[in-house]
Amino acid sequence: MAEICLGLIFVGLTMYAVLGGADFGAGFWDLTAGGDRRGGPVRGLIQRSMSPVWEANHVWLIFVLVVSWTAFPVAFGAVFTTFLVPLFLAALGIIMRGTAFALRGQAATIKEARVLGAIFALSSVILPFFLGTVLGGIAAGAVDVADPAPSNDAWTSLVAITAGVLAVLTGAYLSAVFLAGDARRAELPDLERAFRARALGIGVVTGAASIGALFVLRSDARPLYDGLTSGAGLAAVIASVAAGIATLALIWTWRFGLARWTAAAAVAAVVLGWWLATRPDVLPGLPLDEAASPDATLTALVISVALGLLLLVPALLYLYRLVLAGTLSQGYEPLDQQFRPTDGDGS
C-alpha cells in the first residue's frame, strides 16, 4: 500500500512536471518574446494554447500535496518546515501567475496586457525555480526528519540551485515542443518555425545542463548519483537520454506530433529514475515503512483515488481531445493585435 501511494505521488509529480512544466515554459517564452509588436504572435499563441488547460494542469500539484500529507505526513511536515522560504515564495508565485494569466484574457488595452503579461511571465520563471530547489534540497538530504527546522542552506546549496535551473529549462523545452505542434495545428508557419528553432536550441542547452547536473550530484549528493548510475536508475537515465535525442531528431525533421510524446517521456524518465534511485526511502534516511501512515489510512486513500481516477481519466481525455481537435480553441490573434481600434474581446 505504501508503495502504491508513493507511486501515486511520483505519477502526480510526473504529470505536473510535464503538463505544469510546459505551462511554466510558456511563461518563459512569453517573457523572452520581445516587444509588443515582435512578441505579439508568440503571446497570442500562448494565450490560445494555455487558456483551456492550465487550471487542470495545475491541479496535479494539489494532488501531489494532498497525497503526500495523507500517506507520508511526517515527511510532508518536515519538508515544509525545512523549505519554508522557497515554498512561501512559490506560493506567492502561484497567486500572481494564475491571477495575471486569467486576467490577461480580459485585458482591454495593450498597456494592461503588458503589465499582466509581465507578472505572469516573470512568476512563471520564478515558480519552477523555487519548486526545483526544494526537490534538489530533498535529494541532497537537507531535511532532518527527526528535528526539522527552517533552513536557508537547504535550498541554496549547489544541488538545490542546479535543480531549480533545470526545472526552468525543462519547462521551457517541453513548452517549445508543444507550442511548435500547436502552431502547426493552428496553421501558423511563422510561429511553427520560431518554436522549432527554440525547441532545438533549448533542447541542446537542457541536455548539456542535465549532464552538468550529474556531476553536481556526484560531488554533493552521492547516494542519489550512485542510484542513478547503477541498476534500474541507470536504465531510466539512459531511457531519458534516448528520448531526448529522439525528440531533437523528430523536431529537426518537423515531426512535432511525435516529438510531443518523446519530450514528455524524457522528463517522465527522469522522475522515474529519481524514484528508482531513492527506493525504498521516502526521504534520504527515512525508509518507506517508517514514513507511511497506518494501513487503514493508506487503503482509504488508495480506494478514494482509484474511484476518483475512474471519473478523472475519461474527463481528462475528453478535455484533451476537445483541445487537440481545436474545438475549444479561441480564434488566434497576435496579442498586440487584439487591442487595435475595435477593442477586441480577448476571450
Partner 1 sequence: MLDLGVLAAAAEQVTGVLGDQPAPDAIEARRMQALSLAVHIPIVCFGIAFPAMILFVHGLYLRTGEAHFKALAKRWSKVALTLFAVGVVTGTILSFEFGLLWPDFTATFGEVYGVAFGLEGVAFFLEAIFIAIYVYGWDRLPRRTHFLTGIPIVITGFFGSFCVIAVNGWMNHPEGFGVENGDVVDPEPFNAIFNGNLWHELIHMYLAGYIVAGFIVAGVYAAAHLRGKRDAYHRTGLVVALSFAALAAPAQVIVGDWAGRTVTKDQPIKLAAIEGLPTTTKGAPFTFGGWYDAENNTMNGGIEIPKLLSVLADHDPNATVVGLDTVPPEDRPPVNIVHYSFQIMVGIGTLLAMLGALFVLTLWRHKRLPRSKWFYRGVVVAGPLALVALIAGWVTTEVGRQPWIVYEVMRVEDSVTSSDGLELGFAVLVAVYLLLAVAVAWLLRRLSAQSPEREVVHR
Q: Which of residues 208-247 bind partner 1 (CB under 8 A)?
A: none
Q: For ligand HEM, which is the closer residue by CB, 211 or 311?
A: 311
Shortest Å distance, C-beta 276 to partner 1: 25
For residues 312 and 162, give the distance between their C-alpha atoms in angstroms, rounded to a whole number.
34
Q: Which does 139 bind (CB under 5 to 8 A by kind): ligand HEM, partner 1, none?
A: none
Shortest Å distance, C-beta 119 to ligand HEM: 20
Q: Are 269 and 243 in contact (CB under 8 A)?
A: yes
**Residue 220 CB neighbour total at 10 angstroms:** 18
Shortest Å distance, C-beta 322 to partner 1: 6
Q: By CB under 8 A, what part of segment 280-319 binds partner 1? A: 293-294, 296-297, 300-301, 304-305, 307-309, 311-312, 315-316, 318-319
C-alpha distance from residue 321 to each of 44, 140, 183 (Å):
21, 40, 17
C-alpha distance from residue 224 to each of 140, 245, 273, 285 (Å):
8, 24, 10, 12
Beta bridge partners of 297: none
| Rounded (10°) angle between helices 54-71 and 2-15 | 160
Instruction: Among 32, 149, 215, 249, indicate the residue that binds partner 1 (CB under 8 A).
Output: 149
Site stretch for partner 1 (CB under 8 A), options 71-79, 207-215, 240-248, 271-279? 71-79
Q: By CB under 8 A, what part of segment 42-61 binds partner 1? A: 51-53, 55-56, 58-59, 61
Q: Are 75 and 282 in contact (CB under 8 A)?
A: yes
Shortest Å distance, C-beta 220 to partner 1: 25
CA distance from start to end of the chain = 45
CA dihedral 276, 15, 29, 331 (to 10 degrees): 160
Query: Is 204 among the residues that bind partner 1 (CB under 8 A)?
Result: no
Instruction: Among 1, 4, 103, 288, indicate the residue that binds partner 1 (CB under 8 A).
Output: 103
**Residue 102 CB neighbour total at 10 angstroms:** 14
Q: For ligand HEM, which is the closer residue by CB, 58 or 185?
A: 58
Shortest Å distance, C-beta 194 to partner 1: 25
- Provide the binding-site residues for ligand HEM, judged by CB under 6 A: 58-59, 62
Instruction: Among 32, 106, 219, 253, indicate the residue that binds partner 1 (CB under 8 A).
Output: 106
Instruction: Among 1, 4, 98, 337, indicate the residue that binds partner 1 (CB under 8 A).
Output: 98
Query: Is 63 among the residues that bind partner 1 (CB under 8 A)?
Result: yes
Q: Which does 324 bind (CB under 5 to 8 A by kind): ligand HEM, partner 1, none?
A: none
C-alpha distance from residue 81 to each of 68, 86, 293, 306, 327 (Å):
14, 11, 19, 30, 44
Amino acid of residue 119: I
Q: Are 8 and 67 in contact (CB under 8 A)?
A: yes
Q: Which does 315 bind (CB under 5 to 8 A by kind): ligand HEM, partner 1, none?
A: partner 1
285 is written with which cell numbers? 534516511
